[in-house]
Amino acid sequence: MHFIIMEKELKNVVIAGAGAIGTALAQAMAVDSRLNIQLLSIEENVIETINSEGVNSKYFPAFKLNPGIRATSDKNILQTAHIVFLALPSVAVIGFIEENIDQFSSSVILVNLAKGFSPTHTTIAEQMISSFPFASATMKGPTFARELINGSPTAFTVGSNSERVYHKIELLFKNTVIYLDFTKDVKGVELLSILKNIYAIAIGIVDAHFNSANLRFLVLTKAFYEMRSILIEYGGRKPSMFKYCGFGDFGLTALNDLSRNRTLGLLIGKGFFTDTLSEKVLLEGRVAVNIFCEEILKDNSDQYPIMSEMYKVFNQSYDVTGFVNRILSKD
């Protein structure tokens, strides 16, 4: 029965975005030779080297991809896709669906991998569910693309209103290195994927000033508590904190130097808060903090001292040397 579902419903896989996570996900799924996996990209050089050399020259230039993975810029492939993974920048996901809405079949499953708010400042998956007639899900977890592409066991939480959608996705990753858990708390999965990046920056700032395990885990505990409180305040569910998208993703992002957000925090804490920092990560952090403080928490933002201080870091002339004292003095 499982084999029939795979053959009829989830054979044609399109990954929109041939960046690091899109390519790594394709490599993980390519162990199943029955799948037709295509990377949809606007980067012509990336497309050319994947198809001619079996290498993503921009993101993994030294890694040989499974020969079953192909790349294209032709959006017509969406017409026959059974499932589309959206490995795009957060600001581009909703626009991509709108531009290609006539290309998707009525039975397609759209899976959001992006971490950020939609242009309307709702979560991306929520807007996908409310605005489009397709089955939708979100997939987030403690995942570095560099490790996934090298075959490291990797976990994601699938958030969807439909258990049936989850079981289809679960079947897709059977016999791969990807492990899944599930929740119907779509909003919670999306919120945690945004919050963990903000608080990872804060942990980086702390570690830039003090090489102290005691202090690191003091602040880590406070950050985890704030994340939980904001999650509940905005309508997420408490159990999501202990899914892969919660504790797992936060721990990975806050404590590992492969994390761009932790690294941004370290640079800010060392006084390198300049235009030379990663513009994309910096912008995403500022936008997310501003939405939380100005629109979601509003007058209650002072109840969340770390988030409140991060707002000042991104929006004011700020003496970062006092960051730790300020977040600890507000207990």
Q: For residues 304 and 227, what is the distance between their CA atoms, to the nearest angstrom?
A: 9
CA-wise closest residue to 79 among 104, 100, 111: 104
Q: In what order do the strands lie in the sheet with 178-183?
A: 69-72, 36-40, 12-16, 83-86, 109-112, 135-140, 154-159, 178-183
- For residue 198, the tally of other CB atoms under 10 A from its CB is 26
**Cα separation values, 189 from 131, 175, 192, 245, 249, Å:** 19, 24, 5, 6, 11
Q: Is the Cβ–Cβ distance between 177 and 28 less than 8 Å?
A: yes
CA-wise closest residue to 47 among 59, 35, 31: 59
- For residue 249, the tally of other CB atoms under 10 A from its CB is 26
Strand 36-40 to 135-140 pairing: unpaired
Q: For residues 113 and 138, what is the distance between their CA atoms, to the nearest angstrom?
A: 6
Q: Would you call 298 a catalytic residue per the annotation?
A: no
- For residue 144, the tally of other CB atoms under 10 A from its CB is 18
From the candidates 115, 140, 187, 196, give the one annotated as an active-site residue. 196
Q: For residues 244 and 221, what is the distance between their CA atoms, to the nearest angstrom?
A: 17
Dihedral-angle region of residue 5 (phi above 0 means left; psi in -120 to 50 means alpha; beta otherwise): alpha
- For residue 181, the tally of other CB atoms under 10 A from its CB is 17
What residues act catalytically?
Answer: 196
